[in-house]
């Protein structure tokens, strides 16, 4: 494979999709060696096929504001790859998304889902709708309009969406209600559902907990644990909150969190009850934390989270939020490991820098796979019409994260003993999907 030539061609064919190119570049760089060692991959044109989604669905979403004004948003669902199971991946509602965002997220999802060892293909979707500042009724009308088109493309055995940025329990409820109303069936078509109507225990916590579980394995490999460690976390949404919760349970101290408008630093340790109240109940701004914790500091530069001295960094907000300058600041301050709770939060040059410095660098495909893993377990429970206890689900999640860690070590260990988790995750995920594609013939 001539990676440079291939990427030049891809960029020409898919202009203005920088995040997608970034995600593809990382995977191709990681798998080049194993790809070239196995001529069957080239013979079956696996790279050309794996970077192209099975299909892209784009649609109009008209909806009405409370005051009667009409709004129109763009909807997307990328059904990327179904070699190992039904398309599976979240929905993102955020004003800055584009086709390239969803292609990058869908592509990542294919390999991440393979790593979980569960039978799930990869997909992703959402809209440029911004839930911020909208009433509950407006969000409901938007979700109903979104599902009125999406329902015909999805199904429990076809494509099973879930939440992502801007899509939490409230949105999944509205989406599920509309699907059920249209098809007249109560079935496991979405994950992240409410506990009373088909949801799984631990789904809400799963991504954040999983990020911490895999980091715990990294620390164990290096003869240590979370006790007494200081941790910097970005974001204050679903992933960030439950990563913080698990860090604290394991004896670590979270000293900083952020949102899109700024960050807080609380050297005494973040009070998570206050964060949950602001973010989960009041849907407020992180600055409000200072009204309850007078000694904390606020900066309206959200990426200041990386300037704080910490042992462990967990970027849990959004893509490309930890750049080379931030990586250098972290290394200067003695960081041991960076684990991506979010999808691709560390820029490509920052990833290379961290790997060059032999800092632990656990990519999102591995580190945030806990969310989709428990979504897979939710699908299993729905099929069985049965529900496991919180303890059972948490144990299964912990086992899956341990297996992902093992796969990263197996495929990422270098001759000098350093484990390149980025390579390990990409190779493990790629092999599984590529071999399944070959088994299915030329489709
Ligand atoms: P939420 O919407 O719950 O929270 C997102 C957090 O990131 C908020 O604090 C938000 O701030 C902040 N944020 C969002 N966009 C930006 C931006 N452009 N710049 C800076 N900050 C931003 O989302 P999740 O916690 O669910 O998702 C976070 C990340 O984790 C995403 O990358 C997502 O793809 C990934 N992920 C999520 C999974 C899940 O199960 N939820 C599973 C696997 C990965 P504000 O409140 O101000 O918008």
pLDDT tens-digit profile, the chain (443 residues)? 889 999 999 999 999 999 999 999 999 999 999 999 999 999 999 999 999 999 999 999 999 999 999 999 999 999 999 999 999 999 999 999 999 999 999 999 999 999 999 999 999 999 999 999 999 999 999 999 999 999 999 999 999 999 999 999 999 999 999 999 999 999 999 999 999 999 999 999 999 999 999 999 999 999 999 999 999 999 999 999 999 999 999 999 999 999 999 999 999 999 999 999 999 999 999 999 999 999 999 999 999 999 999 999 999 999 999 999 999 999 999 999 999 999 999 999 999 999 999 999 999 999 999 999 999 999 999 999 999 999 999 999 999 999 999 999 999 999 999 999 999 999 999 999 999 999 999 99
Residue 1: predicted pLDDT: 82
Is 143 among the domain residues?
yes
Catalytic annotation present for 124: yes
Closest ligand 1 atom to residue 343 Cα is 32
Residue whose CA is at the smallest distance from ligand 1 atom 33? 342
- The set of residues, in sequence order, having a beta carbon less than 8 Å from that of 245 and lying 6+ positions away, is 205, 208, 209, 272
Query: Do both 209 and 193 map to the same domain?
Result: no
Is 417 among the domain residues?
no
**Separation CA 233–CA 236 (nearest Å):** 8
Ligand 1 neighbourhood includes 347 CB (under 6 angstroms): no
**Separation CA 59–CA 347 (nearest Å):** 31
Residue whose CA is at the smallest distance from ligand 1 atom 34? 343
Q: Show which of 317, 332, 367 is a domain's final residue.
A: 367
Model pTM above 0.95: yes
Domain of 158, CATH number, reads 3.40.50.10860
Which structure tokens are listed for 388? 């496991």
Nearest Cα to Cα of residue 335 among 347, 353, 316: 353
Quote the ligand 1 centre to 187 CA distance (angstroms). 27
Which structure tokens are listed for 301? 């530069």
Nearest Cα to Cα of residue 434 among 154, 45, 88: 45
- DSSP annotation of 157 reads T
Q: Which residue has the tokens 């800055």?
A: 96
Quote the ligand 1 centre to 41 CA distance (angstroms). 35
Ligand 1 neighbourhood includes 238 CB (under 6 angstroms): yes
Please give the span between the terminal C-alpha atoms of the chain, in angstroms, as a whole number: 21
Among 124, 246, 307, 396, the one annotated catalytic: 124
Ligand 1 neighbourhood includes 342 CB (under 6 angstroms): yes
Quote the ligand 1 centre to 391 CA distance (angstroms). 26
Is 420 among the domain residues?
no
Residue whose CA is at the smallest distance from ligand 1 atom 43? 368
Query: Do both 191 and 67 map to the same domain?
Result: yes
- What DSSP letter does each residue of 359-392 carry, written as one string? -EEE-HHHHTHHHHHHHHHHHHHHHHT----HHH
Query: Do both 140 and 228 map to the same domain?
Result: no
**Separation CA 131–CA 150 (nearest Å):** 18
Q: Show which of 337, 367, 397 is a domain's final residue.
A: 367
Nearest Cα to Cα of residue 242 among 168, 310, 316: 316
- The set of residues, in sequence order, having a beta carbon less than 8 Å from that of 387 and lying 6+ positions away, is 200, 201, 381
Quote the ligand 1 centre to 233 CA distance (angstroms). 12
State which residues form the domain around 16. 1-30
Query: Do both 61 and 145 map to the same domain?
Result: yes
Closest ligand 1 atom to residue 96 Cα is 18
Quote the ligand 1 centre to 12 CA distance (angstroms). 30
Query: Do both 237 and 191 map to the same domain?
Result: no
Domain of 224, CATH number, reads 3.40.50.720
Ligand 1 neighbourhood includes 235 CB (under 6 angstroms): yes
Is 154 among the domain residues?
yes
Query: Do both 185 and 212 map to the same domain?
Result: no
Query: Do both 337 and 212 map to the same domain?
Result: yes
Query: Do both 110 and 245 map to the same domain?
Result: no
Question: Could you tell me the strand order of the sheet in which 122-127 lies?
Answer: 55-64, 70-81, 122-127, 87-93, 159-162
- CA–CA distances in Å: residue 341 to residues 36, 147, 361: 31, 28, 12
**Separation CA 316–CA 89 (nearest Å):** 17
Which of 163, 272, 318 to probe ligand 1 with, by most ligand atoms within 8 A of CB?
A: 318
Quote the ligand 1 centre to 132 CA distance (angstroms). 13
Ligand 1 neighbourhood includes 259 CB (under 6 angstroms): yes
CB atoms within 10 A of CB 436: 17
Is 116 among the domain residues?
yes
Ligand 1 neighbourhood includes 360 CB (under 6 angstroms): no
Query: Do both 114 and 90 map to the same domain?
Result: yes
**Separation CA 305–CA 299 (nearest Å):** 9
Exposure of 226 in the CB half-sphere (CA atoms within 13 A):
23
Is 2 among the domain residues?
yes
Query: Do both 173 and 273 map to the same domain?
Result: no
- The set of residues, in sequence order, having a beta carbon less than 8 Å from that of 421 and lying 6+ positions away, is 218, 360, 361, 362, 363, 366, 408, 412
Residue whose CA is at the smallest distance from ligand 1 atom 3? 237
Ligand 1 neighbourhood includes 346 CB (under 6 angstroms): no
Question: Could you tell me the strand order of the sheet in which 360-362 lies?
Answer: 297-299, 262-265, 253-259, 230-234, 312-315, 337-339, 360-362
Q: Show which of 329, 345, 367 is a domain's final residue.
A: 367
Which structure tokens are listed for 338? 């960076």
How many domains, the chain?
Answer: 3
* Sign, Cα dihedral of 433, 401, 27, 204: positive
Query: Do both 160 and 267 map to the same domain?
Result: no
- The set of residues, in sequence order, having a beta carbon less than 8 Å from that of 8 and lying 6+ positions away, is none
Query: Do both 192 and 164 map to the same domain?
Result: yes
């Amino acid at each position: 494979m001539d990676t440079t030539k291939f990427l030049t061609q891809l960029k020409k064919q898919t202009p203005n999709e920088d995040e997608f190119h970034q995600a593809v570049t990382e995977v191709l760089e990681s798998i080049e060696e194993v790809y070239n060692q196995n001529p069957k991959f080239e013979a079956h044109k696996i790279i050309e096929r794996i970077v192209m989604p099975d299909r892209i669905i784009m649609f109009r979403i008209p909806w009405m504001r409370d005051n009667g004004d009409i709004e129109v948003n763009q909807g997307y669902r990328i059904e990327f790859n179904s070699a190992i199971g039904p398309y599976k991946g979240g929905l993102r509602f955020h004003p800055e998304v584009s086709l390239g965002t969803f292609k990058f997220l869908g592509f990542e999802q294919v390999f991440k889902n393979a790593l979980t060892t569960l039978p799930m293909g990869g997909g992703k979707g959402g809209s440029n709708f911004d839930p911020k500042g909208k009433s509950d009724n407006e969000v409901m009308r938007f979700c109903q309009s979104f599902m009125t088109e999406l329902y015909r493309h999805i199904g429990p055995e076809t494509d099973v969406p879930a939440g992502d940025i801007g899509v939490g329990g409230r949105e999944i409820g509205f989406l599920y209600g509309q699907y059920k109303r249209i098809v007249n069936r109560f079935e496991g078509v979405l994950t992240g559902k409410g506990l009373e109507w088909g949801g799984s225990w631990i789904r809400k916590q799963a991504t954040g907990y999983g990020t911490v579980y895999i980091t715990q394995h990294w620390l164990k490999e290096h003869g240590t644990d979370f006790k007494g460690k200081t941790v910097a976390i970005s974001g204050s949404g679903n992933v960030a909150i439950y990563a913080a919760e698990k860090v604290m349970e394991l004896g670590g101290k979270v000293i900083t969190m952020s949102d899109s408008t700024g960050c807080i630093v609380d050297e005494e340790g973040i009070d998570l009850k206050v964060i949950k109240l602001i973010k989960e109940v009041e849907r407020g701004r992180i600055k409000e934390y200072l009204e309850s914790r007078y000694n904390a500091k606020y900066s309206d530069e959200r990426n200041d989270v990386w300037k704080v001295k910490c042992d462990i960094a967990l970027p849990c907000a959004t893509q490309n939020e930890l750049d080379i300058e931030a990586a250098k600041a972290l290394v200067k301050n003695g960081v041991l490991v960076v684990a991506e709770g979010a999808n691709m939060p560390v820029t490509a040059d920052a990833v290379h820098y961290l790997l060059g410095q032999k800092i632990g660098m656990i990519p999102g495909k591995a580190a945030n796979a806990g969310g989709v893993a428990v979504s897979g377990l939710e699908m299993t429970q729905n099929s069985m019409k049965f529900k496991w206890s919180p303890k059972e689900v948490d144990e299964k999640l912990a086992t899956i994260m341990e297996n992902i860690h093992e796969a990263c070590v197996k495929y990422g260990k270098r001759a000098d003993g350093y484990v390149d988790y980025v390579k390990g995750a990409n190779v493990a995920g790629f092999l599984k999907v590529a071999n399944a594609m070959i088994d299915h013939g030329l489709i």
